[in-house]
């Protein structure tokens, strides 16, 4: 899978064209706003590569317009991000998939991945621990973007070399993998 992160639908469209032209791999569409998600899904549908799209991500508070576009365009794959302010600092994310399940089924999304959400250093362990409970309870493929905590670690890039940052990302991604993650989302951002 290619994790395509874009700050707008225009950037997503440009990048989708490039990725679709150079690989047959699935494209994880990670666009920041819901409005841009809807526009990007429409573009993927218009260009004929919706069958390769995996929308990243659906949260319990995703707007109905996103689900409507998923159903209309035939996006059959999505990542559920287990984000909730109530469970932000907890490894117990067991109720969150249920909150999304009815919406996801109504949108006719068949292929689900679950992201247990990493935002900072402490959440890496919480997300890794949640992987087991979600897999055991729901049976969906589960993983996370463990590298996200690196961006919250302000001193790392200032105090240490680029190699140290690369090593920290490798360790961050290894932890969930060692604990049973089915996938690790890894986005390349320049040094």
Residue 151's CB is within 10 A of a number of other CB atoms, namely 13
Instruction: Give the phi and the psi of residue 140 in degrees, each rounded to 5.
Output: -80, 155
For domain 2-184, which architecture applies?
A: Alpha-Beta Barrel (3.20)
Q: Which residues of the chain have pLDDT under 70?
A: 84-97, 187-191
pLDDT of residue 84: 67
Assess contact for 36 and 8: CB atoms under 8 A.
Answer: yes
Residue 61 and residue 161: Cα distance in Å, rounded? 39
Residue 61 and residue 77: Cα distance in Å, rounded? 18
DSSP code per residue over the chain = -EEEEESSHHHHHHHHHHHHHH--S-EEEEESSHHHHHHHHHHHHHHT-GGGEEEEEE-TT--HHHHHHHHHHT--EEEEE---TTSTT-S--TTHHHHHHHHHHHTT--EEEEE----SHHHHHHHHHHHHHHHHHH---EEE-TTHHHHH-HHHHHHS-HHHHHHHHHHHHHHHHHTT-SEE-------
pLDDT of residue 190: 43
pLDDT of residue 174: 86
Residue 48 and residue 9: Cα distance in Å, rounded? 17
pLDDT of residue 191: 37
pLDDT of residue 59: 85
Domain boundaries, the chain: 2-184
93-104 pLDDT, tens digit each: 666 667 777 788
Q: Output b/e per residue, 60-93; b: 16+ Cβ within 10 A.
A: bebeeebbebbeebebbbbbbbbbbeebeeebeb
């Amino acid at each position: 899978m290619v994790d395509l992160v874009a700050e707008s639908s225009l950037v997503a469209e440009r990048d989708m064209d490039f990725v679709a032209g150079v690989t047959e791999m699935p494209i994880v569409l990670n666009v920041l706003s819901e409005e841009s998600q809807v526009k990007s899904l429409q573009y993927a549908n218009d260009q004929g590569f919706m069958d390769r799209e995996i929308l990243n991500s659906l949260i319990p508070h995703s707007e109905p317009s996103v689900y409507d576009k998923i159903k209309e365009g035939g996006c059959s794959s999505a990542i559920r991000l287990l984000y909730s302010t109530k469970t932000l600092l907890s490894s117990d994310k067991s109720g969150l998939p249920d909150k999304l399940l009815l919406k996801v089924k109504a949108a006719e999304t068949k292929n689900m991945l679950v992201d247990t959400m990493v935002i900072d250093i402490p959440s890496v362990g919480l997300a890794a621990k949640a992987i087991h409970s979600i897999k055991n309870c729901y049976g969906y493929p589960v993983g996370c973007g463990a590298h996200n905590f690196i961006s919250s670690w302000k001193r790392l890039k200032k105090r240490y070399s680029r190699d140290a940052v690369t090593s920290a990302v490798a360790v961050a991604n290894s932890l969930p993998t060692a604990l049973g993650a089915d996938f690790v989302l890894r986005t390349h951002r320049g040094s």
